[in-house]
Structure 1
């Protein structure tokens, strides 16, 4: 079923093979402007149908899933079966966009990797969303909003002067990543309309989180201003504990809702083993937070991170901006661009977070002076010099 013929993406078919927030949100945006979005999910349904934010219950479809999946039709299918893969391949033949956010190598196992689908439909726009990039030192880690807030330096900007870094009260990284994926799909569709050429589009949460801090990071990289928090907070109540930044002997680590039994193993803490993940992690959030903080404070940060990652517990360091610049994944991704500005000299800022396989982004010029290009722009519109001079004299046009 196509969208309304008056909508921008009417006639465009999207196969949405994503879960959680960033991918589904991006696909929903495409549906909101007319795309025929088919949500491809397991026979039992996407896990977020059953995992309500805030512990909400008594709904057939929970609020989280409702909020991210409007303007879609659902195809419940087992992609691990030969028949399921064959069905998807048939759908791919007439699709325009394919979105996925599988962990590395999963897409290939399911027969929906870029090379396989490109051979079926050379006009397919393939949008891949990951936590940290398609490769690199963090490629196999789980990409999760809180963890990326810490890695990207954004968390270090919130909280009190003497308190811990303060996470955002929203899934800000997921949302930003979703918009990047949405923009990437649109840009690739536009490129295809102009040239007939399709391509792969790669989005990762870390680059998206860096890009939305364009002003803040640039204040640090250009002016050298550090993130100095004040005495009072300037900053999710719906996520189970532990879900926060926790102190160590030499910095902070983020920990995102692990099974309490795993924490009990890491910290040799029997009190965690007596708690119920489904109940206590909401009802006893403050108690759990304090207990985790009591243990993390005894550890060296890097030793604790190694122990947590060994137990597959979602965790990461809380970076300031200098640590962001030095981070091996950031360096590997080429997340920052450096260029010469004609009036401000050498600049270093977060780059464009959407990576097109055939049409990469570039910096042709820095930010213009006010009215710097007024004359040349008006000339391209057909104005002569005398007309432009008159408009400038009247104060209608500014020129620098």
Structure 2
């Protein structure tokens, strides 16, 4: 950054990350992308996500998942089972603003990283814990994989739905591809860290306890609200009365028509067919009652349309519609390019590849990645006594 105005929001903030899973890794990644100096503390053999497939060519040594989660971070190795390793971590925490981790309560106690000990030794440190079911309660020590979390949150029960449920009615409940639930936990953990940073000046440092299950439950809050009237949503009924995913001649689009103006735009988009001009369909409740009938007509029409043409015309008419793009189309898309969503970075063990910086802008501008993922122990000098003396001296001069 060349001037103070262009500095990222968390410039000057130091975050220490101890992670094995995606949630804590994603929280650290978000803090790093927002400008924090995020130091990933790894065991001597490296963070386990370094070995998580898919592995990138040409050497097939670098994990695509780790490359994304660790981009912009620094790496030190610490054997926390030894006094020297714990001393090195303690030195890092003395200067840190945030610790984000996924250590279970028993592990924290054994490593003297429990909440009370951290508060006594590092009173200005914000402690962010992100675990499958939180750090308190009967499930605090439970382990869980993504498939457990997506179903524990109720989201798995509702998939597949919409068009997928109609096309494949015999399919069992499905897991969303990738790490949907764990990413939700990471987002909530990062937001918790940001909130604690904002409030620290008034009330001191806080501890943040995030349950990945709770974070993912929030995604389906609308479905949960329906329990109030005694109904239970099911994947066979969880769909828009009409619209949703539509199959076109060359791909798929998503259509949404929740507002009256969007329905009127859809009428124009489809060329004002006689059936849509039925006066009864001017009533939104009647449209809901006749949703299956409307959807059959829309889908018949959509199969004859080209995705690029239909999306362009829909958006011009104020009809919410977007194409389901392939990964290659996302990387080369004009929208993504205009927003600078992807940035090429060097990935050790692979090559220079585009990596998502952040799915949002700050003050109207894209956030930049400092670098690709670090090599294991690349920033080991951060643990040296000389480094800490120099950093302390710089901090004192600034103050």
The answer for the alignment partner of 2:191 in structure 1 is: 183
The answer for the alignment partner of 1:89 in structure 2 is: 90
The answer for the alignment partner of 1:224 in structure 2 is: 231
Structure 1 residue 86 displacement after superposition: 1.0
Structure 2 Cα separation of the partners of residues 105 and 138 of structure 1: 12
Structure 1 residue 128 displacement after superposition: 0.6
Greater percentage in helix: 2
Indicate how the Cα distance of structure 1 residues 43 and 214 shifts in structure 2: closer, same or farther if over 3 A, else same.
Answer: same
TM-score under structure 2 length normalisation: 0.54
Structure 1 residue 45 displacement after superposition: 0.5
Classify the secondary structure of the residue corresponding to 2:176: coil
The answer for the alignment partner of 1:166 in structure 2 is: 174
Structure 2 Cα separation of the partners of residues 56 and 178 of structure 1: 27
Structure 2, unmatched stretches of 5+, are: 246-399
TM-score under structure 1 length normalisation: 0.54
Q: Deviation digits for residues 25-69 of structure 1, max 9, x if unmatched?
A: 110100001101000010110111123237988334221110111
Tell me the C-alpha RMSD between the 2 structures: 2.6
Structure 1 residue 140 displacement after superposition: 2.3
| 1:136 partnered with 2:144 | no
Structure 1 residue 189 displacement after superposition: 0.4
Aligned match for 2:213, one of 181, 206, 209: 206
Structure 1 residue 221 displacement after superposition: 3.0
* 1:143/1:205 contact within 8 Å kept: no
Counterparts of residues 118-157 of structure 1 (less than 5 Å): 118-157=119-158
Classify the secondary structure of the residue corresponding to 1:67: helix
| 1:28 partnered with 2:35 | no
Structure 2 Cα separation of the partners of residues 220 and 53 of structure 1: 39
Structure 1 Cα separation of the partners of residues 194 and 92 of structure 2: 20
The answer for the alignment partner of 1:15 in structure 2 is: 16
* 2:147/2:175 contact within 8 Å kept: yes
Structure 1 residue 223 displacement after superposition: 6.7
Indicate how the Cα distance of structure 1 residues 158 and 34 shifts in structure 2: closer, same or farther if over 3 A, else same.
Answer: same
Classify the secondary structure of the residue corresponding to 1:16: strand
Structure 1 residue 111 displacement after superposition: 2.2
* 2:55/2:63 contact within 8 Å kept: no
Q: Deviation digits for residues 75-111 of structure 1, max 9, x if unmatched?
A: 1111110011111111111110001101231012122
* 1:127/1:201 contact within 8 Å kept: yes
Structure 1, unmatched stretches of 5+, are: 236-400
Structure 1 runs of 4+ off > 4 angstroms? 54-57
- Number of residue pairs matched? 231
Structure 1 Cα separation of the partners of residues 104 and 200 of structure 2: 27
Structure 1 Cα separation of the partners of residues 29 and 141 of structure 2: 27
Indicate how the Cα distance of structure 1 residues 54 and 155 shifts in structure 2: closer, same or farther if over 3 A, else same.
Answer: farther
Structure 1 Cα separation of the partners of residues 29 and 57 of structure 2: 22
* 2:56/2:62 contact within 8 Å kept: no
Structure 1 Cα separation of the partners of residues 180 and 119 of structure 2: 32
Q: Deviation digits for residues 90-135 of structure 1, max 9, x if unmatched?
A: 1111110001101231012122222222212111100011111223
| 1:215 partnered with 2:222 | yes
The answer for the alignment partner of 2:45 in structure 1 is: 44
Q: Deviation digits for residues 222-242 of structure 1, max 9, x if unmatched?
A: 57253151699x99xxxxxxx
Counterparts of residues 61-72 of structure 1 (less than 5 Å): 61-72=62-73
Higher relative contact order (CA 8 A, sep 6+): 2
Classify the secondary structure of the residue corresponding to 2:105: coil
Structure 2 Cα separation of the partners of residues 180 and 127 of structure 1: 10
Structure 2 Cα separation of the partners of residues 231 and 225 of structure 1: 10
Structure 1 residue 167 displacement after superposition: 1.5
Structure 1 Cα separation of the partners of residues 55 and 93 of structure 2: 36
Structure 2 Cα separation of the partners of residues 169 and 219 of structure 1: 26
